[in-house]
Chain A
Amino acid sequence: MTTAVFENEVVTAAKVRFLTLPGLSGEFALITIDNGHDHTRPSTFGPGGLASLDAALDEIAARSPAPVAIGVTGKPFVFAVGADLSGVPAIIDAAMAREIAETGHRVFRRLKDAPVPTFAFVNGVALGGGLELALHCRYRTIASTATVAFPEVFLGLVPGWGGTQLLPNLIGIDPAVTVVVENALAQNRMTPAPKAAKLGIADAVLEPADFLERSLEWAVGVLDGSVTVPRPDVDPAAWDESIERARAIVAGRTRNASPGAVRAVELLDLARNGVDGEAFTAGTAAEDDALTDLLMSDPLRASLYSFDLVNKRAKRPAGAPDRSLARTVTKVGVVGAGLMASQLAMLFVRQLTVPVVLTDVDQARVDKGVAYVHGELDELALRGRLNRDELNRLKGLVTGSLSKGAFADADLVIEAVFEEMSVKQQVFAEVEAVVSETCVLATNTSALSVTEMASKLEHPERVVGMHFFNPVAVLPLLEVVRAERTDDATLATAFSVGRSLKKSCVLVADAPAFVVNRLLTRFLGEVTASVEQGTPVAVADRALDPLGLPMTPFELLTLVGPPVALHVAERMHEAFPDRFSVGVGLRKMVELGKSSVYSEPGVVDPELAGIDAGDSPLTEEQVRERAVEALAQEIRLMLDEGVVQAVQDIDLCMLLGAGWPFWLGGISAHLDRAGVSEQVTGERFLPKGVASLPA
């Protein structure tokens, strides 16, 4: 049998102290969970950490006379954030995976089965295995500033160290479905302490200033009977309906493409048998099975790869110039006052808190743009996100002007005018006439050549593409486009501004439609072409369901907007006529002003009847193969063209800009896993083990 050892594990030590407390006869054994780092590196449990906790419990068991209670708390600001996922690549076979699962269960269960009352003092964030550790204790206090969550399902796992069994039997199945499934699949939403206590996850909320002192007093109160802890009965009758709800959430959010989510629901269902004795043994055994299967699955490995991209690569963009080259931006100009421009103005003023000037060709449009930003700011203030002073400050920073002279002292001017090369060139020329020599000119174009846009300027090296995604305030991706002449200072400034805007920046070359739009257009083009050759809309639209994309192709078309999709498609057709076609149906939609192929859900708009009139329909599977093969081909070409530094950047773009799911690894992990990349391009995108099980 292989024994799980994570190389380079940052071992979380469990340190025991035996405390004498006022009002308590006998010792209180307090375990501190602490990995020896500050709060920026929260404590996690790998094999070494579990062994340390096991040893701490041995030490307590050996203490004579026996302590009268056991407590667990965390290092400052952190309780514990779960299993050490950085060690997963070291798990090379099912036996090792099972050992990790079983060890966690065995060690944590010692608290559940302890002969004396056990307490978790949740002093800070408790995620996953950290929360499970707390759930194994009989009582819990929580600091009012702490948050708890089960992120496992978000990552493609299950809370498999007892979480799926203990939580529903503590707080009831419906809230457990919310915490384990619904919140995890809603961008990993966390539960703040007051809410956690209301749900019954914690028994008492205490302020952080004297959290541990008050927790110990509370514990003494529980032990001497002066504090009673109500535990409402869990309603077994609620199970069926709640599990149905969980299934619907998983189907809606993942189209059942994430094995972790599906298994989590099965385990929650099983929890109806309770957590006493044998039932808990059976429940945890089922968790062991699920964890073993999932840890040894490609989708989970792809999820962890995605997680790593989003958390690490997104923060240190590959190919970005040295940060020190960036210029300080103290004022921003926005050319255009339409919806996109106004959204950009809102983002810049909110995140940079510098003056932002909007210009447009007539006063009414300028006023409308400024009014939009002011209205959005008022909205934030109403929701309590801005106080009165902040509102006054931000509103005062946003102004409008008919004259580009207002940009004279701006350090960055971004244009968001009509997608027409001559218009954009004209705008940049006018801006260059008034701004300083070092002012950065940025374009939010989605498909035009940034190099061409800059070509007629005196200083083309100051032009950079900053391609945001709609809705600008929500989507985290920013494609930073280096044009042919863009210099390092300009590029560094764009990255620095992007970081200040709290966007994840990816460096892309000035290639048609950059990354996200190029791939979505290619992909959508294959689906619409399938329709045009006779595949029914409904068949084509559900063909990609097994991938679990966040929306169907035609939902995506509606979100992007047919006019934008058509514009990009036309540009791509110009650039690569052999691979990108401009669909007749799409053109018709734009001509008719249709935003959707459907007039009502599931019903193709009668005015679009005939868009699927071809005579060689494809099956769902054929449509799917065609679409993913096109993706593989396009990605290989993009890599060969040098559009990005590495395929990881493409995956990052698809994760953050298109919301493609973790379990596909953006997309390359899926293409490798399905054998499509090798079939289409003759090679994998990533070596085995990077976003998949090791070879």
Chain B
Amino acid sequence: MSSRERQPRPLREVVFVDGVRTPFGKAGPKGLYAETRADDLVVRCIRELLRRNPALPADRIDEVAIAATTQIGDQGLTIGRTAALLAGLPKSVPGYAIDRMCAGAMTAVTTTASGIAFGAYDVAIAGGVEHMGRHPMGEGVDPNPRILSEKLVDPSALVMGSTAENLHDRFPHLTKERADAFALASQQKYAKAVANGQIGPELVTVATRSAEHGWGVATLDEPPRPQTTLEGLASLKTPFRPHGHVTAGNAAGLNDGATGCLLAAEDVALELGLGVGMRLVGYGFAGVEPEVMGVGPIPSTEKALARTGLSIEDVGLFELNEAFAVQVLAFLDHFGIADDDERVNPWGGAIAVGHPLASSGVRLMTQLSRQFAERPDVRYGLTAMCIGLGMGGTVIWENPTWEGFAT
């Protein structure tokens, strides 16, 4: 029997090295990616991460975690592993598939980052994909009949738009007008960020086949509507409830897209000469009543703040997923932040760019890391999102270029 002492447990800082995403497309037969496979979108992200970070030997990657909500067909077959193989990573690099609905990629990041901090990995790729055109929400689901018979969950909990309507009921002061105004601002901020070249560098091109038109190439996001007006928003139908509040204009659409990022232990990033975009401070996930899933980010943020010893005032930049305008407003309202606070989604959000469910978490992070690079005055940033079935997820990051470090 060996009595050899095991390695002492290291606990390492985890850094977000780099993040990329495909342009996001509109789901459906006329969408950008109507004839493009979901796994191919992931493959492009993985390959581009390696190309952009040539200092990283591919065989140093210890894990590839890829999220998808609907793990069927081209999003099935353990997509983290298949995408790694398809991307040409060495066969020695393992991978897995992960799912937490909209927070899939976010969970891929927190899970692999935890593995890095724990000492199980040095470098990991985390990302997500959702091709809602090929895999509409709810494809193939088989809810347990007990959910209804035992009234475990309100029937509206499975329809995300209905949960957003429920939020308007719970917070009557969060009016449709406020939601529409927030949505308009999202479109405008996004358009400005594109014009400034702030959004664009993180995009990877994707060759898009069309049997009818031949090969094309996706270079730009398809969902944004820069011509949006308040009047236009006011006139949209409310599909989830007659005379309701939630419209296609103040919610994220149905989208296709993939994201990926490179995470590393900080010492390994330094050893290899990799860039450091952000440093992970901490994270939290929390559950809420499923029928008001939109409030999920409130308890998850409180949890993350409590565990990291920070307060909301320490956060200089917020990247909040805009599944629904009302759900972001509920968050801001709770923390006493103005609807138009400049720290919130400065480059717009999912209402403009789209929300391919499981991929969005890494879009938020990639965007935050790029904002950090131009904002040395900010030390901490926060990415958060609501999650179907009543959850929220929050990840807090530190800006490595914070000017306070220099002094």
Contact = CB atoms under 8 A, between A and B. Distances in A.
A213 B205 contact: yes
Contact of B207 (A16, A34, A207, A210): A210
B214 to A, nearest CB: 3
A110 interface: no
Contacts of B87: 209
A212 B44 contact: no
Contact of A19 (B44, B86, B217): B217
Contacts of B207: 210-213, 216
Contact of B213 (A15, A73, A209, A211): A15
B215 interface: yes
Interface in A202-233: 207, 209-213, 216-217
Given A207-B88, A209-B47, A209-B87, A30 B215 contact: yes
A76 B209 contact: yes
A76 B209 CA distance: 9
B216 interface: yes
Interface in A174-218: 207, 209-213, 216-217
In the complex, which range does the number of interface residues on chain A fall in?
20 to 34
A417 interface: no
B352 interface: no
Contacts of A423: none
Contacts of B219: 19-22
A210 B215 contact: no
A60 to B, nearest CB: 13
Contacts of A21: 205, 217, 219
Contact of B88 (A15, A17, A31, A209): A209
Contacts of A236: none
A36 interface: yes
A17 B216 contact: yes
A212 B40 CA distance: 13
B214 A212 contact: no
Interface string B36-66: 0000000110011000000000000000000
A432 to B, nearest CB: 49
A649 B98 CA distance: 58
B211 interface: yes
A195 to B, nearest CB: 21
B206 interface: yes
Contacts of A31: 214
Nearest to B215: A32
Contact of B47 (A17, A210, A216): A210
Interface residues of B, number: 21
B65 to A, nearest CB: 20
B211, B212, B215, B217 pick with most chain A CB within 10 angstroms: B215
Nearest to A121: B215
Secondary structure type dominating chain A contacts: mixed
A434 to B, nearest CB: 46
Given A21-B219, A209-B88, A216-B217, A34 B211 contact: yes
Interface string A11-29: 0000111011110000000
Given A36-B211, A76-B209, A210 B216 contact: no
Contacts of A30: 214-217
A16 B211 CA distance: 12
Nearest to B88: A209
A15 B213 CA distance: 6
Nearest to A20: B219
A17 B214 contact: yes
B214 A16 contact: yes
A102 B209 CA distance: 32
Interface in B201-240: 204-207, 209, 211-217, 219
Nearest to A36: B211
Contacts of A36: 211
Nearest to A33: B214
Contacts of B214: 15-17, 30-32, 34
A212 B217 contact: yes
Interface string B73-99: 000000000000011100000000000
B216 A19 contact: yes
Contacts of A16: 214
Given A209-B43, A209-B87, A210-B47, A17 B206 contact: no
A213 B217 contact: yes
Nearest to B87: A209
B87 to A, nearest CB: 6
Contact of B215 (A20, A73, A207): A73
A22 B217 CA distance: 10
Nearest to B43: A209
Interface in A146-200: none
A36, A73, A211, A213 pick with most chain B CB within 10 angstroms: A213
Contacts of B209: 76
Contacts of B47: 209-210
B86, B204, B205, B213 pick with most chain A CB within 10 angstroms: B205
Interface string B156-192: 0000000000000000000000000000000000000
B298 to A, nearest CB: 39
Interface in B87-119: 87-88
A19 B218 CA distance: 9
A454 B211 CA distance: 57
Contacts of B48: 210
A398 to B, nearest CB: 30
A209 B215 contact: no
Contacts of A207: 88
A207 B58 CA distance: 16
A268 B307 CA distance: 77
Contacts of A217: 205
A16, A22, A207 pick with most chain B CB within 10 angstroms: A22
B43 to A, nearest CB: 6
B129 to A, nearest CB: 16
Interface in B126-146: none
A17 B205 contact: no
B44 A210 contact: yes
B197 to A, nearest CB: 11
A213 B36 CA distance: 14
Nearest to B47: A210
Contacts of A22: 200, 205, 219
Contacts of A216: 205, 207, 217
A207 B46 CA distance: 14
A35 to B, nearest CB: 11
Contacts of B212: 15
A441 to B, nearest CB: 45
Interface string A615-655: 00000000000000000000000000000000000000000
A16, A76, A209, A216 pick with most chain B CB within 10 angstroms: A209
A31 B209 CA distance: 12
A65 to B, nearest CB: 19
A209 B86 contact: yes
Contacts of A212: 207, 215, 217
A22 B87 CA distance: 23
B44 A17 contact: no
Interface string A535-554: 00000000000000000000
B211 A17 contact: no
Nearest to A34: B214
Contacts of A76: 209
A181 B47 CA distance: 39
Contacts of A19: 216-217, 219
A16 B205 CA distance: 19
A212 B43 CA distance: 14
Given A209-B47, A212-B215, 17 more contacts: A15-B214, A17-B214, A17-B216, A19-B219, A21-B219, A22-B200, A30-B215, A31-B214, A32-B213, A32-B214, A32-B215, A73-B215, A209-B87, A210-B43, A213-B207, A213-B217, A216-B207
Q: 3 closest pairs, A vs B, by CB?
A: A32-B214, A15-B214, A212-B207
14 contacts: A17-B213, A21-B219, A22-B205, A30-B214, A31-B214, A36-B211, A207-B88, A210-B43, A210-B47, A212-B217, A213-B44, A213-B204, A213-B206, A216-B207
